[in-house]
């Protein structure tokens, strides 16, 4: 019994001792873990402090770089501002210089007017004195004396005027011709227009001549329907493999060609099918004209146009004047006008816009009465075009004077495009009639021996009698002939009047 109690006590004591030992070990382990956690926390704190210092250093570097970049941009902005300020000051100085030149010119004109008035008064005084002297010496009446004096004065004034005109033209041509030739050379070398050639007929090829009979139809119903809808003449003859379409209207011919091609592909040629395909083709052409007009406006960079004007630009492709395609001509004028205006310190964009629209009225002449100039000015005014564009439209055929550099550039470009060799084609009868009219005007003048047109009617050579007309009067004669041709003859481009006076002395040695 005692041994059992001792055993139990020993077991309890051993368990208690084991528990104490285990507790000490656990406490030691806990202390070690706490120390490790503290060490790790301190390491993490040191690492965070190091990272914070590194981030602060990087932020400081970036702040310095950003400040340097901002300083550079501010410096560049200041330099650009100074440069633009200097440019504005230079332009203001140039404008002021032009104003001073204008003031000087106005003063000079006023002085010349004053001198002319004084000269006129002196002439009147001399005339009165001459009248009195003639009446006393010759015993003529006042009317007779006035007639003689006026004839003498007129002759003297004509000679003086001829001298003044000749001198002024010589001085003006020396500078104007050089500048004009430079601008024209720049324009023509920087733009090469396509050769324009339009015909009055189109040929539709066919693979089988049996299609000709189907195009004609029973009792001619198909061909009558086609001609009534298309508005063209359809010529079906013995020519193998072809159908000829004839019309002066390029737009109708183009629609007719496309309609007949689709009919031949479809094979069902009958009045109802003809009308259906015609309506589809017409709608397709309307859409294509708008798209083509939009592409042209974008390519030229003339800004936004009203959709109706854009559509009319596309329609110009199917208009022609003297055989020159109206759209090709308008594009040539737009490019040339832009180059010329840029050379003259004008707005090349505005000049291109005015050049593109200067013949827009030709797209309306088939459906409306009136000249293409008036129609073009009205339609552009209706859709909000500016004064420069309207003035260019009216000025390019002399309805008004150009009021801006851009308008004058359009007028010059229009003459260049129309007058270049091969640009236009005329009917032989109208060409011969114009040449005869020009030669007749020159031949009707006093002292003219011969007059004949050369260079396809673009130059008129006039040979005068040297005993009746002197060198100074040739200047007046050329101007009179040119003015009369301009007033009474219709012609594209310009006509050069060249008056030739030649004196030949002949003697024989015997």
The pLDDT value given to residue 372: 81
- 9-46 pLDDT, tens digit per residue, is 777 777 777 787 887 787 777 787 888 888 888 888 88
The pLDDT value given to residue 45: 82
pLDDT confidence tier of residue 142, bands split at 50, 70 and 90: low
The pLDDT value given to residue 175: 67
Is the per-residue pLDDT at 479 higher than 80? yes
> Three-class SS of residue 383?
coil
Is the per-residue pLDDT at 375 higher than 80? yes
Provide the percentage of residues in the chain whose pLDDT is more than 90.
Answer: 0
Strand 242-246 vs strand 320-321: parallel, antiparallel, or unpaired? unpaired
- Average the pLDDT over 265-286 and give the result: 82
| Start-to-end C-alpha separation, the chain | 196
CB atoms within 10 A of CB 226: 25
The structure tokens 């200067």 sit at 358
The pLDDT value given to residue 195: 40
What does the block give as tokens for 179? 């500048």
What does the block give as tokens for 139? 């015993």
**Measured CA angle at 325 (ends 322, 329), to 5 deg:** 100
Determine what percent of the chain falls in helix, strand and coil, rounding each to the nearest 5: 70, 5, 20
The pLDDT value given to residue 193: 47
**Measured CA angle at 79 (ends 78, 81), to 5 deg:** 65
What is the dihedral angle through the alpha carbons of 157, 162, 163, 164, rounded to the nearest 10 degrees? 90
- 318-374 pLDDT, tens digit per residue, is 777 666 777 888 888 888 888 888 888 888 888 888 888 888 888 776 666 777 888
**Measured CA angle at 439 (ends 419, 394), to 5 deg:** 40
What H or E segment, with its residue span, contains residue 496?
strand 496-501
- Average the pLDDT over 94-101 and give the result: 86
C-alpha distances in angstroms, 409 versus 211, 336, 351, 497? Answer: 53, 8, 7, 24
- Size of the chain in residues: 510
What is the spatial distance between Cα 381 and Cα 389, in angstroms, rounded to a whole number?
9
What is the spatial distance between Cα 381 and Cα 391, in angstroms, rounded to a whole number?
11
pLDDT confidence tier of residue 161, bands split at 50, 70 and 90: low
Higher pLDDT, 332 or 139: 332
What H or E segment, with its residue span, contains residue 246?
strand 242-246
Of the CA atoms within 13 Å of residue 41, those in its CB half-sphere come to 6
**Measured CA angle at 202 (ends 200, 203), to 5 deg:** 145
Is the per-residue pLDDT at 56 higher than 80? yes
Question: What is the phi/psi pair of residue 61, to 5°?
Answer: -65, -45
What is the spatial distance between Cα 256 and Cα 254, in angstroms, rounded to a whole number?
5
What is the spatial distance between Cα 172 and Cα 153, in angstroms, rounded to a whole number?
28
- Average the pLDDT over 420-448 and give the result: 73
**Which of these ranges, 13-17, 84-88, 160-164, has the smallest mean pLDDT?**
160-164
What is the spatial distance between Cα 445 and Cα 464, in angstroms, rounded to a whole number?
9
Is the per-residue pLDDT at 188 higher than 60? no
- 404-430 pLDDT, tens digit per residue, is 888 888 888 887 776 555 545 554 556
Residues 90/112, Cβ–Cβ less than 8 Å: no
What is the spatial distance between Cα 395 and Cα 411, in angstroms, rounded to a whole number?
7
* pTM value > 0.85: no
Is the per-residue pLDDT at 49 higher than 80? yes
pLDDT confidence tier of residue 495, bands split at 50, 70 and 90: confident
Higher pLDDT, 272 or 165: 272
**Which of these ranges, 199-213, 324-338, 390-404, has the smallest mean pLDDT?**
199-213
**Which of these ranges, 33-37, 153-157, 192-196, 435-439, has the smallest mean pLDDT?**
192-196
Higher pLDDT, 209 or 178: 209
Residues 319/263, Cβ–Cβ less than 8 Å: no
CB atoms within 10 A of CB 466: 16
The pLDDT value given to residue 198: 44
Residues 335/351, Cβ–Cβ less than 8 Å: no
Residues 292/317, Cβ–Cβ less than 8 Å: yes
The pLDDT value given to residue 192: 47
Is the per-residue pLDDT at 230 higher than 70? yes
What is the spatial distance between Cα 179 and Cα 174, in angstroms, rounded to a whole number?
9
Residue 222's Cα: distance from chain center in Å?
45
- Average the pLDDT over 130-152 and give the result: 66
**Which of these ranges, 27-41, 43-57, 123-137, 225-239, has the smallest mean pLDDT?**
123-137
**Which of these ranges, 89-103, 130-144, 399-413, has the smallest mean pLDDT?**
130-144
Is the per-residue pLDDT at 196 higher than 50? no
């Amino acid at each position: 019994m005692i041994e059992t109690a001792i055993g139990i006590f020993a077991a309890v004591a051993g368990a208690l001792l084991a528990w104490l030992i285990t507790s000490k070990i656990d406490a030691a382990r806990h202390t070690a873990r706490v120390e490790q956690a503290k060490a790790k926390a301190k390491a993490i704190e040191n690492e965070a402090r190091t990272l914070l210092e590194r981030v602060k250093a990087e932020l400081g570097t970036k702040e310095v770089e950003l400040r340097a970049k901002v300083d550079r941009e501010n410096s560049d902005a200041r330099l650009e501002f100074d440069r633009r300020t200097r440019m504005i000051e230079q332009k203001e100085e140039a404008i002021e210089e032009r104003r001073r030149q204008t003031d000087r010119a106005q003063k000079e004109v006023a002085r010349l007017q004053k001198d002319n008035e004084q000269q006129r008064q002196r002439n009147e005084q001399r005339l009165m004195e001459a009248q009195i002297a003639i009446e006393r010496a010759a015993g003529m009446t006042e009317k007779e004396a006035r007639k003689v004096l006026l004839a003498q004065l007129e002759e003297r004034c004509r000679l003086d005027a001829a001298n003044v005109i000749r001198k002024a033209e010589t001085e003006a041509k020396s500078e104007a011709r050089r500048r004009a030739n430079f601008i024209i050379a720049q324009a023509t070398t920087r733009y090469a227009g396509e050769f324009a050639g339009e015909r009055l007929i189109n040929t539709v090829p066919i693979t089988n001549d049996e299609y000709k009979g189907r195009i004609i139809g029973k009792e001619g119903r198909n061909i009558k329907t086609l001609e009534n809808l298309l508005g063209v003449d359809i010529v079906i003859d013995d020519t193998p493999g072809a159908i000829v379409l004839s019309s002066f209207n390029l737009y109708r011919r183009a629609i007719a060609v496309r309609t007949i091609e689709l009919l031949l592909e479809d094979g069902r040629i009958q009045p109802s099918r003809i009308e259906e395909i015609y309506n589809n083709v017409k709608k397709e052409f309307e859409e294509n004209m708008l798209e083509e007009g939009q592409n042209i406006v974008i390519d030229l960079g003339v800004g936004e146009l009203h959709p109706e004007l854009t559509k009319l630009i596309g329609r110009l492709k199917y208009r022609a004047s003297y055989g020159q395609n109206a759209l090709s001509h308008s594009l040539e004028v737009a490019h040339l006008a832009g180059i010329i205006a840029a050379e003259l310190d004008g707005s090349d964009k505005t000049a291109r816009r005015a050049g593109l629209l200067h013949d827009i009225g030709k797209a309306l002449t088939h459906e409306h009465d009136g000249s293409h100039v008036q129609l073009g000015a009205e339609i552009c005014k209706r859709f909000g075009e500016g004064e420069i564009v309207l003035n260019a439209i009216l000025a390019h055929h002399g309805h008004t004077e150009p009021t801006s550099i851009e308008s004058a550039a359009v007028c010059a470009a229009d003459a260049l495009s129309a007058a270049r060799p091969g640009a236009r084609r005329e009917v032989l009868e109208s060409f011969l009639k114009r040449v005869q009219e020009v030669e007749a005007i020159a031949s009707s003048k006093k002292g003219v021996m011969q007059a004949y047109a050369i260079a396809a009617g673009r130059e008129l050579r006039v040979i005068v009698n040297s005993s009746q007309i002197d060198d100074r009067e040739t200047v007046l004669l050329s101007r009179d002939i040119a003015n009369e041709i301009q007033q009474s003859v219709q012609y594209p481009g310009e006509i050069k009047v060249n008056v030739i006076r030649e004196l030949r002395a002949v003697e024989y040695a015997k």
